[in-house]
């Protein structure tokens, strides 16, 4: 069970993945460097090192569902 502080909502628009705002710098509507193929890989257990393009903050994604990224560290501490 992943703690709530480790989750962050994302949206899919066509083939692109966005967050409404960045958990680290609060930039709006950030396009994530994430591919559809990688979503499947993460779901099957592969970790994904994500770098936010807005502020180069890093996140290790350990799981993902249709609405939320699950990270291995807190992402809700920063606001």
List contacts with Zn ion (CB under 5 A). Answer: 22, 24-25, 27, 52, 54-55
Residue (29 or 46) nearer to Zn ion, CB: 29
CB of 32 to Zn ion, least distance (A): 11
Could you give the CA distance from residue 16 to residue 51 in angstroms, rounded to a whole number?
15
CB of 60 to Zn ion, least distance (A): 16
Helix (H) or strand (E) holding 30: strand 28-31
Residue (13 or 79) nearer to Zn ion, CB: 79
Q: Give the alpha-carbon dihedral of 75, 71, 26, 17, to 10 degrees.
A: -160
């Amino acid at each position: 069970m992943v703690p709530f502080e480790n989750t962050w909502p994302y949206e899919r628009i066509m083939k692109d993945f966005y967050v409404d705002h960045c958990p680290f710098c609060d930039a709006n509507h950030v396009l994530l460097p994430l591919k559809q193929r990688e979503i499947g890989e993460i779901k099957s257990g592969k970790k994904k090192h994500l770098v936010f393009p807005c502020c180069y903050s890093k996140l290790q994604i350990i799981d993902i569902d249709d609405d939320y990224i699950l990270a291995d560290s807190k992402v809700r501490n920063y606001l």
